[in-house]
Structure 1
């Protein structure tokens, strides 16, 4: 019997060890399942966190875009209000256009008449050119294809040309009745102060007399100065002092 007890004890120990080994395997398996489940849960958590971070960034971007749109809309509102104000002003101006049209046309007609009378009474230089300019203005006033603003602009240009005549020196060639014979002469215009002619052969000279409204002959001693003045006016000679007869107004 003594020999049997050790055998039974060994069997019990072996059986107990087998039970513990089996339990340990179950624990290990269970632990593996838990770890696997934890890894899957962590993966889900990471995906959710990434999704939340992306949505947060999207939310911030949308808020920034909304702020920009708010500023843009406010600016558009200001521009729209300004455009409405401009439209109101334009509508008011358009209501006055017909009134202005009725007033400006008679004004331009009076200006042309005044310019025509001025040229007729002025020193007779560039007579043909100036007469054609006035005739063109009169013809322009009858045309319907030219706006009133363009007519007024051209009229002001004609006035400016006449103003410029008073402060420039000019030489040009034209025909003139000299001693009952039409001859080609060189004219020297010094502003509106003097209009002098010199025949092409350089033998006769004369100047316009505002009192008699005619040309009077100048002495031969003035011819050299007149020739010099013609060369200066044509930019063939540098500006210099001239000694010329002047018909001063009384």
Structure 2
């Protein structure tokens, strides 16, 4: 037995392998260097040394297991390496996204700061507008009252139309859905219309009260200088007497022709020219 083990050990040393075989009461070290040539050594000794062959078979099995585990480990290592590479690439992408988001956030912070400043300025402007509105509203109400009083003291041309305009202004003042600027514009518009009346020549038909009776006549407004009228048949001519504040007939027949000419001029039926109207001389 010892001789066979010695032969096997020598064969294994020739192959470059290290292995321990029992020799008597001691263990002898056998060097095995090249595992790939183990099969050759085994083939030389398997027929002569039965116990040594069993050990070599065990070595083969262990070597095969080691190789299999090494392959599995290498596959895992390769997979881990690829996964690590992909994760690193993703990490670089995320870093770029974070950098872009940081730039975007800084821009948003600047925009928000500008908007907050504009909001503060707007709030201050609203406060000023509110203060102006508190001052403008009483002013507009006084202006409307002024127009109303002026119309009441003025010659009564288109009186219904003018009073309706004043009532519309009062209605607008009470509406919350109309801006103060629009209200003020409407009041100024009414003043402009009243101002234009003083520079226009206008003829229109209307009903007046004469001596307690209502008659339809043609009225001729000459600015705010005079308001004269003629019946439809041109038989009666009259005027608005500022002193008595009523419509009266004119006795002088000369005014009939002049008023008729003025009515035609106002209606563009006659070329503009001169015509006479009765006026009250100013008091000395």
Q: Which residue of 2 aligns with 1:32?
A: none
**Distance in 1 (alpha carbons) for counterparts of 2:155 and 2:164:** 16
On the 8 A contact 2:228/2:277 being kept in 1, the answer is no
TM-score by length of 2: 0.56
Give the one of 243, 251, 254 matched to 1:211: 243
Q: Indicate if the aligned counterparts of 2:210 and 2:247 stay in contact, CA closer than 8 A.
A: no
1:177 aligns with 2:209: yes
SS at match of 1:238: coil
Residue 178 (structure 2) aligned to one of 135, 146, 162 = 146
Distance across 2 between alignment mates of 1:164 and 1:142: 27
- Matched residues in 2 for 1:164 and 1:85: separation? 46
Q: Distance in 2 between matches of 1:196 and 1:89?
A: 58
Runs of 4+ in 1 over 6 A off after TM superposition: 82-88
Residue deviations 1:222-244, cap 9 Å, x none? 11110100000011111101122
What residue number does 1:12 align with? none
Distance 2:141 2:247 in 1: 33
Runs of 5+ unmatched residues, structure 2: 1-113
Q: 1:86 to 1:210 in 2, by over 3 A?
A: farther
Q: How does 1:12-27 map to 2 (within 5 A)?
A: none
Hey, what does 2:26 align to over in structure 1? none
Distance 1:170 1:85, change over 3 A: farther
1:239 paired residue number: 272
2: CA distance, partners of 1:191 / 1:83: 55
Q: Which runs of 5+ in 1 are unaligned?
A: 1-81
Whole-angstrom distance in 2 between the partners of 1:90 and 1:165: 41
What is the aligned length? 173
* In structure 2, distance between residues paired with 1:163 and 1:87: 42
**Does 2:263 match 1:230?**
yes
**In the alignment, is the contact (CA less than 8 A) between 1:204 and 1:220 conserved in 2?**
no
**8 Å Cα contact 1:188-1:196 kept in structure 2:** yes
Distance 1:141 1:222 in 2: 45
User: In the aligned structure 2, how far is the partner of 1:122 from the partner of 1:85?
Assistant: 53
What RMSD over aligned residues (CA atoms) do the two structures have, in Å?
2.4
Q: What's the CA shift for 1:200? A: 0.5
**Counterpart residue number, 2:189:** 157
Q: Is the 8 A contact 1:184 1:199 kept in 2?
A: yes
Match of 2:140 in 1: 108
Q: CA deviation at 1:210?
A: 1.4
1:180-231 C-alpha deviation (Å, 9 max, x unpaired): 3211000000000000010111011111121221223212221111010000
Distance 2:154 2:232 in 1: 25
Between Structure 1 and Structure 2, whose CA radius of gyration is higher?
A: 2
Indicate if the aligned counterparts of 1:203 and 1:220 stay in contact, CA closer than 8 A.
no
2:198 and 2:115 map into 1 onto residues whose CA distance is: 47
Bigger mean CA deviation after superposition, 199-208 or 87-96: 87-96
Q: What TM-score do you get using the length of structure 1 for normalisation?
A: 0.64
